Amino acid sequence: MTAHYFIATLKPIPEYHSSENNYPFLNGEAYKESLPFTLPYVYEVYELGGEDIELITFLDSFMGIGDVVERYIFEEGRQGYPLSHNYPEEARTINLFKKTYKDQYGEYQLDSKKWKEELSRRTIASKRSVTTFVKY
């Protein structure tokens, strides 16, 4: 089994297409047909399996007011058959501007000073649903 971590963005991430790329993004277009994303630019994210706080920090700095980013884990089984499924009822929405986390059980206000640490302890990526980050 192989797990791939993806994000999809409304706008391209041009600084990560250069040779000085110091963040682990790769083009995810090869998987685009298999992913439940609604946004046009797809990137595979490496080396962040357990480092959610790094991704949260990056997204907070990358996203402007009104931006949307989606995150999903795609697991491949033998011979490339997908093991991931999309259950929209399990989707999460994280508002980086209001510092809120919403899942199928309710919406939670994160601590305004320790929100990144608090958010990194929650499930922010799944092979069962898309997590949507918004900033508005």
Nearest Cα neighbor of 82 from 91, 73, 90 is 73
* Rounded average pLDDT over 72-84: 77
* Structure confidence by residue, pLDDT tens digits, 88-115: 899 999 999 999 999 999 999 999 999 9
Tokens in use for 54?
Answer: 């790094």
- The answer to whether 93 and 99 are in contact (CB under 8 A) is no
**pLDDT in the model for residue 51:** 66
Q: The pTM is what?
A: 0.85
* Structure confidence by residue, pLDDT tens digits, 16-63: 555 555 556 777 888 888 899 999 999 988 754 456 888 898 899 989
**pLDDT in the model for residue 129:** 92
- Read off the amino acid at residue 72: Y
CA dihedral 125, 7, 32, 129 (to 10 degrees): 20
**pLDDT in the model for residue 24:** 63
Tokens in use for 19?
Answer: 């040779």
